[in-house]
Amino acid sequence: MLSQTAPQPQPQPMQQPMQQPMQQPTVVQVTVPAQTTSHIVTVGNCPVCHIGNMREEFSAVGIVLAVLFFPLGVICCLMMTEKVCPHCGARFGA
């Protein structure tokens, strides 16, 4: 009779820890759109030069009236304003 022997367990080889491959740096290419320049042309409301914006100023006579005839002179000063263009200096009475 043949003698049966129990199978002997095979020794398993030692497993080495898995080494991760070195990762290459990720390259990202970003495209920035070119800057466009725009020119804004402004047109003022001056009837003479069409560049300046009219502003209101008190006339010299109105200021004198406001000082000399105080309570009623202020009303006269407010009514005697002039529109002046700061670009060309044109004056228009209101």
Give the span between the Cα atoms of 50 and 57, in whole angstroms.
19
- 85 within some domain: yes
Q: What is the pLDDT of residue 21?
A: 66
Q: What is the pTM of this model?
A: 0.46
Mean pLDDT of the chain: 81
The residue-averaged pLDDT of 58-79 equals: 92
At 3-24, the pLDDT tens digits run 566 667 676 666 666 666 667 7
**Is 35 domain-assigned?**
no
In a domain, 69, yes or no: yes
Decide which of 33 and 84 is more confident: 84
Quote the percentage of the chain above a pLDDT of 90: 24
Domain membership of residue 82 as a residue range: 55-93
Decide if 80 is inside a domain: yes
Q: How many domains does the chain have?
A: 1
Kindly state whether residue 86 falls inside one of the protein's structural domains.
yes
* Distance separating alpha carbons of residues 76 and 70, to the nearest angstrom: 10
